[in-house]
Structure 1
Amino acid sequence: MTGRREQVLDAAIRVLGTQGTRQLTHRAVDAEAGVPSGTASNHFRTRDALLAGVLERLRELETRSWERVAAELTGAVEIDVFADVVGELALELTGPARVVTLARHALLAEAAFHGGLREQVAVQQGRIESWAADWFRALGSPHPERDLWTVLSLLDGLLAHQCLSPDPAFDPASAIRALLRGLHESWTRLPQ
């Protein structure tokens, strides 16, 4: 990704994460990026193209975050370690990266009404599933893909609630740990 294109997309993420989708215009992105008028539209001719570009940029940023998680989860995966590592990610995504999280949620809501964005989200979800389900296999899940999405759904809910109503005592690791322990208990009760 070129420097100027990345600059425009990062500005679009800030617009989405601070002002919402209704305020996402080429002009607003140019102003946020501090670039000459028309720069955003030179890179992204339509609003849909801009949204698709933002979704791709968010995928890049999220991939970096999840790669850090993966680096911390090398070797044997244990429930408490997994919960702590993903909990730390949640604290980052609701603290220093809060604007990125809000932009992601705004864009996902927008994707519900745009087939092209929906397809792009589905491809990204498939990528996540292809490598993250291994953590759940390592934890002993007989249904790693399903359990991965159960935990990711909890994580998305935790992020949304914390971004909407910040709680200074926010402890995402506890909620993730409780869910994983409940899932683990159901795995061990399954007939062999």
Structure 2
Amino acid sequence: MPRNPERRAQLADAGLAVLAEQGARGLTHRAVDAAAGLPAGTASNYFRSRDALLGALGERIFERLAPDEAVLAPLAERTPSVDLVIDYVRYIVERLLAKPELPLALFELRLEAARRPGLNEILSRTLQQGFDADVSFHVQAGLPGGAEEVRLLHFAIDGLVFDQLTPGVGRRYDVDAATAHLVRRLVRED
């Protein structure tokens, strides 16, 4: 397997753009090559199967959504509270909505994984690692709540972001206010 991490990232980013714009049906190795401006066959050299390509896209989404340490540092200095959880979750929502192609691609991947056992295994592992990291961060930061609250926040934020990026009841409400309301309903001070 080729080991050029920059080329792999370039291909994954092109794949995410194709997935977000055209859905899973439009995602082919050839479409990724074209979107990346690379010779035909390049994507298949890096990702031998469709499941490998789709799984790599899931991993790349989380790489691109990683938080900025400069934003986290001042938050980490604050006293743990529900208000701090609100600010952390607002930052998550902000990152997701600032790069709409990433959550849209993730929604596409999750739907595709429901039909593809190989992708289901790969994506489930990636999503579980992300969830475990979120719980670990939450607990280590001393924030109120625990794994169950983090799980419920995942469900709520997925729905909020989905509503903002697709036709629905979205865009008629203040996203920051809705985020704060969700956190206050799901996380209680100890």
- In the superposition, the TM-score normalised over structure 2's length comes to 0.81
- State the partner residue of 2:48: 45
Distance in 2 between the 1:24 and 1:109 partners?
Answer: 14
Sequence identity percentage? 34
Tell me how far 1:94 sits from its aligned partner: 1.8
Does 1:35 pair with 2:50? no
Superposition map of 1:16-95 within 5 A: 16-62=19-65, 64-65=66-67, 70-75=72-77, 76-95=79-98
Which of residues 103, 108, 111 in structure 2 aligns to 1:109?
A: 111
Distance in 2 between the 1:68 and 1:153 partners?
Answer: 27
Q: 1:131 to 1:45 in 2, by over 3 A?
A: closer
Higher mean alpha-carbon deviation, 173-182 vs 124-133, is at 124-133
Tell me how far 1:18 sits from its aligned partner: 1.1
Q: 1:125 to 1:99 in 2, by over 3 A?
A: closer
Q: 1:61 to 1:182 in 2, by over 3 A?
A: same
Gaps of 5+ in 2: none
Tell me how far 1:69 sits from its aligned partner: 6.5
Gaps of 5+ in 1: none
Q: 1:66 to 1:152 in 2, by over 3 A?
A: farther
Distance in 1 between the 2:73 and 2:129 partners?
Answer: 17
Which whole-Å deviations, capped at 9, do the CAs of 1:67-99 have from their partners, x for residues lacking one?
67754531422222322332233133223x111
Q: 1:168 to 1:128 in 2, by over 3 A?
A: same
2:30–2:43 Cα contact (<8 Å) kept:
yes
2:81–2:144 Cα contact (<8 Å) kept:
no
Superposition map of 1:120-131 within 5 A: 120-131=122-133
Distance in 2 between the 1:102 and 1:165 partners?
Answer: 13
Does 1:10 pair with 2:8? no
Higher mean alpha-carbon deviation, 161-170 vs 148-157, is at 161-170
Distance in 2 between the 1:115 and 1:155 partners?
Answer: 26
The alignment of Structure 1 onto Structure 2 pairs a total of residues equal to 183
- Normalized per residue, the structure richer in helix is 1
Distance in 2 between the 1:86 and 1:114 partners?
Answer: 31
Distance in 2 between the 1:112 and 1:158 partners?
Answer: 21
Tell me how far 1:169 sits from its aligned partner: 5.9
Tell me how far 1:100 sits from its aligned partner: 1.2
- In the superposition, the TM-score normalised over structure 1's length comes to 0.81
- State the partner residue of 1:99: 101
The code of the aligned residue for 1:41 comes to S
1:72–1:85 Cα contact (<8 Å) kept:
no
